[in-house]
Structure 1
Amino acid sequence: MLGGGSNEDVPPESTSDDDVDHERQQKRSVTLYKVSDEKNGTVHIEEIAKKPLMQEMLKTEDCFILDTGAAGFFVWIGRGSTKAEKAAAYGSAPTMEDAEPAVFKQYFSRWVDDDAQVGLGRIYSREQIAESVPVSVHLESRPPKQRRHLVQKSFGCALGFMPDDGSGQVEIFRIENFEPVLVPKETYGMFFGGDSYLLKYTYQKFNRDHYVIYFWQGNQSSQDERAAAALHAVKMDDGLCGRAVQVRVVQGREPRHFLTLFKGKMIVFMGGHASGFKNIHDHDTYDVDGTRLFHVCGTSEVDTRAVQVPEETKSLNDDDVFVLETPKQTFIWYGKECCDEERAMADNVASLVSPGRSPVKINQGGEPAEFWSALSGDPSEVQQVTEPTAPPLEKKLIHCFENVAGEFIVEEVEGFEQDDLNEDDVMIVDTGDEVYCWIGKDASRQEKEKTFQYATKYVKSDMTIREDTTVIRVPEAREPPSFKALFPSWDDNMFEVTSDGSARGPLPRACKRQEGKMG
């Protein structure tokens, strides 16, 4: 009946197409089509773009069809589209312009709602934003676009993760020869982009010690060094009986809470410490000719930081403030679009990176010749910054695991609640701005060790384009308030805690819709 063949021609399971793999591939092939009658009065459907998609591709005078592969189709109806276009596009429940659901927006790399309080991918309420906004910053007096822009570029990432006000005890270790070495306190806040670091943060709540372990990965640090930082974060947590919250931090994507630990005195230098391995900048030196350029970010004495950038005109942008140190003078350069808060904080940064000098303050367009002569490139190369945006995403609970064939499987739990957290597994709660990895008390050692690998694979498999998302590892019964707030209702008694602070497991009523959902 098959027209020939034999048993020997049937490939083994390991080399045959995998259904789950096929579905994941289908999900990744997202295509946008335009439905238009502008050509000869007849309706045409044409492909516009594939992933990544931008909000500005949707034109109000047309209709569009979004094919998400295995997840189905969306029909977007522009306000100015014609009856013929609407009739041709209809075929499933329509999505009207200015009324798009979050599940539609998540397929776009850029999406802005004028009235939204948005972090980098997550909608935050005014109350949540207010909790982490310095008193000196008056967001409500600004128009929505300006307010959102300031939050996104200067406040740091993972705005929802604020376990305390940053007034606890900090210990910092730099990875040298793949081992953690304690950093002198007088250098706290100074990081090298060619290195990776461990930070142990201890704070008190309800008369009990709580811990956060950050491992910071410099953009120019080696892969082996980054892996060593992650490994020692696990070892440090083991020494605390698994009670710490672990957070992976990538240079340039520091969580707001991380920034508060340094009280406006954080500086990231180019280069790295000589640690016995081949590195792009295998030395301690971050200045070879007496000229350095620093990009100033921040809005207050709490979150201000300076990042050393190449001494080139194209490193400047019109939306920010920069400090330029030359052998003879120090300049503070104000981009024409920078805000008052950044101007005010620039003095603090200048005193840190170029102490003992009175800086010359200049506005964009009024630079002296010696300013440009210290930089390579032409003044026309100053960058114009577009608004950093990301689609507001709905929170999701994800079950990640590897099957017996070693394939990575992602399963979403719809309409999740606290009792969907399976004590035998690692579960991911994705807020859009941060990814929480919840570790059940009975999860295997292998699952615990692969937590950050699972998170990285999950983010890469997701529709939206997000690089270097903050990943927060949360042990059962040690959930921070920001994690609990993601659930419709949270019962602290569901996960009992023993006298030494470890989880004893959920009460019997927690077990379990999950088994029915996941099999």
Structure 2
Amino acid sequence: MAPHAGLVHLKEYDIKDSNVELIGTAIDHKVKYASAASEPAWNDGRVGVEPGVFVWRIEDFEVVPWTVREGGGVFFYDGDSYIVLSAVPTKADPGSGARQVGGNSNRHLIHEIFFWLGSHTSQDEAGVAAYKTVELDEFLHGTAIQHRELQSCISDAFRVLFPRLTIRKGGVRSGFRHVDLEGDAAREDGTATLLRVFQPVNGSVVVVCEVEPTWRSLDDGDVFILDVGEKIWVWQGSKCRPMEKAKAAQVVHDMKLAKHVEEEVLSQTEPRSRVIIKLLGGDSEEGSQRSEYSCPRPVTGLSLATPKRPRRLFRLSDASGELRFDLVKEGEGISRHDLDSNDVFLLDNEGNSIWVWEGSGASKAERTMWLSVAQSYVRQLASSGEDSEGYMSPIAKVRDGYESVEFEKAMGGPQGI
């Protein structure tokens, strides 16, 4: 029987044409019903007090703690949604965006919240993750920087939090609860598991991602780990990078510590590497006689070589009596002087990132709608044909007086302040 046979599947979230915020909808009411007066996940005595990286998974409208292992090791499932909080201690000047820790005036925390959406997460899970991200920000007094992260295009800011990030197939709806898979990649039903080790475009961190165990998943530019239960095989593509080889060796080391099985590392250029092709179903001439293999990566990166579109600054305001989203300026010359603390602004930084700036005097409607408007904007870019991958643009929000260095750079640097 197939792993998912007999399961009832919720509607998957489609980032290209669905709202993720869903605030004010039926999901909003379900979350409020399922939640207590205060969210236990935020009230553990550590959140907002201690530095570190905290992770939660959305399970049946609940926020459930998720383990981060020593050294930044973490497993995410492509069928799930997660919330990640990064709390970094720093000595801060007034207005820097830091929150004081306890009564120690020399210790402050800079908070960044990421909600990570797996490629097969449900619409309900995505909506709850976005809703709870807003709730967590409120718990932190509204000073956190918020990020939307897509599995298909993870930002470097997210990847550096997890030097040992592994993305597996499945999720809470598939019955994969919180179990330790550090050393056991093969499924309980004996199915072979194939892990792809690669460095995304413009990325500084190597990612490990589970892919379909077939020879068609192979690519000359990456390293692959095949776990068949009794042995671990490593296939090094002819064009793979040293960092990818090193990362694969680390992953295999951890697996062997738990499983005590032998490994064999083979380069694509070695004739014996055909053994791995056959294990992956490449018995046919099409699979076994190939000299080159190519397959799109499950996690990509945005190409920063050339601007995808002009820099644009928009204003979200209800000063006229109705909520309006209007273009303020396009092209060069956008600076902090163009911002007004009474409204919310959206900066499209040539397609490399989407920044939302929330003015300190913005209305409740403006503050509530920022994510909905940002989502609508990137979807419109794709549907209009201006940028077919516009929906993948990283989206982040900062608050007036709590801006990040990255936001200041996007606005044109300190000279624009």
**Could you state the TM-score of these two structures normalised by the residue count of structure 2?**
0.68
Aligned to 1:362: 266
Distance 1:439 1:194, change over 3 A: same
* Shift in Å, 1:488: 4.0
* Shift in Å, 1:405: 11
d(CA) in 1 for partners of 2:256, 2:357: 43
Q: Write out per-residue CA displacement over residues 334-381 of structure 1, whole angstroms, 9 at most, x where no aligned residue.
A: 111212222222201223455444431112243445422331352448
d(CA) in 1 for partners of 2:415, 2:227: 54
d(CA) in 2 for partners of 1:489, 1:407: 30
- Contact 1:351 1:357 (C-alpha < 8 Å) held by counterparts: no
Match of 2:392 among 457, 461, 468: 468
Distance 1:333 1:403, change over 3 A: farther
d(CA) in 1 for partners of 2:353, 2:207: 21
Aligned to 2:139: 239
Query: Would you say 1:197 and 2:120 are equivalent positions?
Result: no
Q: Percent identity?
A: 24
Number of aligned residue pairs: give it. Answer: 319
Q: Which amino acid aligns with 2:74?
A: G
Q: What secondary structure is seen at the aligned counterpart in 2 of 1:485?
A: helix
Distance 1:325 1:488, change over 3 A: closer
Distance 1:489 1:186, change over 3 A: closer
Aligned to 1:109: none
d(CA) in 1 for partners of 2:413, 2:164: 38
Query: Would you say 1:439 and 2:355 are equivalent positions?
Result: no
**Could you state the TM-score of these two structures normalised by the residue count of structure 1?**
0.56
Match of 2:67 among 172, 184, 202: 184
Q: What secondary structure is seen at the aligned counterpart in 2 of 1:319?
A: coil
Aligned to 2:242: 340
Aligned to 2:122: 222
Distance 1:233 1:385, change over 3 A: closer
Q: Which amino acid aligns with 1:195?
A: D
Q: Write out per-residue CA displacement over residues 410-459 of structure 1, whole angstroms, 9 at most, x where no aligned residue.
A: 41414222121122222112222221111111222232222222112112
Q: Write out per-residue CA displacement over residues 276-309 of structure 1, whole angstroms, 9 at most, x where no aligned residue.
A: xxxxx3544982324100111239x972221001
The answer for unaligned runs of 5 or more in structure 1 is 1-166, 275-280, 495-519
- Counterparts of 1:110-509 in structure 2, within 5 Å, are 169-186=52-69, 189-207=74-92, 208-262=108-162, 264-274=163-173, 281-284=174-177, 287=187, 288-298=189-199, 303-353=205-255, 355=257, 356-365=260-269, 366-368=271-273, 370-377=275-282, 378-379=287-288, 380=290, 382-383=293-294, 389=303, 391-393=306-308, 394-400=310-316, 409-414=325-330, 415-431=333-349, 432-462=351-381, 463-466=386-389, 467-488=391-412, 490=414
Q: Which amino acid aligns with 1:219?
A: S
* Shift in Å, 1:272: 0.4
Distance 1:296 1:289, change over 3 A: same
Q: Which amino acid aligns with 2:268?
A: Q
Most deviating of 423-432 and 460-469? 460-469
- Contact 1:321 1:335 (C-alpha < 8 Å) held by counterparts: yes
- Contact 1:294 1:308 (C-alpha < 8 Å) held by counterparts: yes
d(CA) in 1 for partners of 2:120, 2:295: 25
Aligned to 2:46: none
- Aligned-residue Cα RMSD (Å) equals 3.2
